[in-house]
Amino acid sequence: MTSNQKLIRYTHQLLLWLFFFACTFSCTNHTHRNDVKPEEKTFPEIHTGPATFHVLGGVVETFSVNFDKFGNIPVEEYGVVYAFLPETTLVDLVVDGPYPMARFKETAKLGANTETFKIGFPTDKHALSYRAYVKLKGGEVRYADNSFTKTY
């Protein structure tokens, strides 16, 4: 065997061993004790609070949103989606839907958040449905687990 043939054979063997070690020791699916784990998303917990009505009737004076906890995603906006209806029926009260929103101006705090709106009742409607919402950083909207429907 000539020296060129030996050199080529050893080069091939060396390349095969290098390839074998590269494949064996280049694991990408691993964790280390000190690796930082991504934080799991926790969402705010909100509940729709009762609305108050003007003593003479015909006007919603305040809406209320209760924050039980904030979670780890910043709140960009919160308030109440509401609908005046001809009768008590279930409707889909969602942000950017067909029904108006009462956006709160104050920064959210734990507990009850109440704001004055003074929204007049339409004369041809006899029911008010409403529920709280919170819009999170990134655009995700979460809703309260409860809502209210009142007849007047």
CATH number at residue 108: 2.60.40.10
Asked if residue 37 is part of any domain, the answer here is no
Domain total for the chain?
2
Helix (H, G, I), strand (E, B) or coil at 7: helix
Instruction: Report how far apart, in Å, the C-alpha atoms of 52 and of each of 38, 39, 106, 110, 125 are.
Output: 43, 39, 18, 20, 18
Asked if residue 40 is part of any domain, the answer here is no
Indicate whether 60 pLDDT > 90: no
Neighbours of 81 (CB within 10 A): 25
Q: pLDDT (tens digit, 9 = 90+) per residue, 63-93?
A: 999 999 998 999 999 999 999 998 877 788 9
Q: pTM for this one?
A: 0.72
Quote the domain boundaries for residue 99: 45-151
Indicate whether 1 pLDDT > 60: no
Residues pairing with 52 in the sheet: 62
Asked if residue 113 is part of any domain, the answer here is yes
Non-local (6+) Cβ contacts of 115 within 8 A are 62, 63, 102, 104, 105, 106
Indicate whether 104 pLDDT > 90: yes
Name the burial class of residue 21, with classes exposed (0-12), middle (13-18) and buried (19+) by CB atoms within 10 angstroms of its CB: exposed
Q: What is the pLDDT of residue 43?
A: 93
Does 15 lie in the same domain as 54? no
User: Mean pLDDT lowest for which of 22-31, 51-60, 77-86?
Assistant: 22-31
